[in-house]
Amino acid sequence: MTSDAVHSSETHSIIVRNAQLEDAPALCELLAELGYSATTEQVQNRISGFARSQRTAIFVAETAGRVVGALSFHCIPLFHADGSLGRITSLVVAPELRRHGVGRSLIAAAEFFASRHDCIRLEVTSGTHRPDAHTFYECLGYKAASRRFIKDTRSA
């Protein structure tokens, strides 16, 4: 699967590709679905920054010319083992297109990217307030395996 991977579901043709600067307004709307506000300029800066790294990616899912989902992915080199950790740091699908294969298509693109970048383990973080997301990840073979501790340095 490449950045131009296509997944067809019964009702929608989904194209997964790398995010482009012109996707920023749609990505702002999708991030708001997750509770994160960002300006178009901030999102464009993130897209540009990620594009400079071969170990990070922002994928978008598009159907009928509209961006309806996004996933950000990072490969983190491991010290304690050979290889890298692949980390999904955000995944969002427009509410009206959930359960139509968009999320699965984005995960497939991330997993293919991970396989090309020596990721020996994949992880995704999902807020405790998102039980539907937890079920989705479990259906794709992801398991709750550890506890994460976070310190927000912006408010410390």
What's CA 36's distance to the chain center, in Å? 14
What is the per-residue pLDDT for 55?
A: 95
Would residue 117 count as lying in a domain? yes
What is the per-residue pLDDT for 9?
A: 41
What is the per-residue pLDDT for 83?
A: 95
Domain residues for 59?
5-139
Would residue 144 count as lying in a domain? no
Would residue 147 count as lying in a domain? no
Would residue 97 count as lying in a domain? yes
Number of H helices, E strands in the chain: 4, 6
Closest CA to 138 of 3, 110, 130: 130
Would residue 154 count as lying in a domain? no
* 121 three-state secondary structure: strand
CATH number, domain with residue 133 = 3.40.630.30
Check residue 69 and give left, alpha or beta (phi > 0: left; psi -120 to 50: alpha). Answer: beta
Q: Which is it for strands 119-124 and 84-93: parallel, antiparallel or unpaired?
A: parallel
Which DSSP state fits 152?
A: -
* Structural domain count of the chain: 1
Q: What residues of the chain score a pLDDT lower than 70?
A: 1-12, 126-128, 131, 135-137, 139, 156
Would residue 149 count as lying in a domain? no
Would residue 153 count as lying in a domain? no
Would residue 9 count as lying in a domain? yes
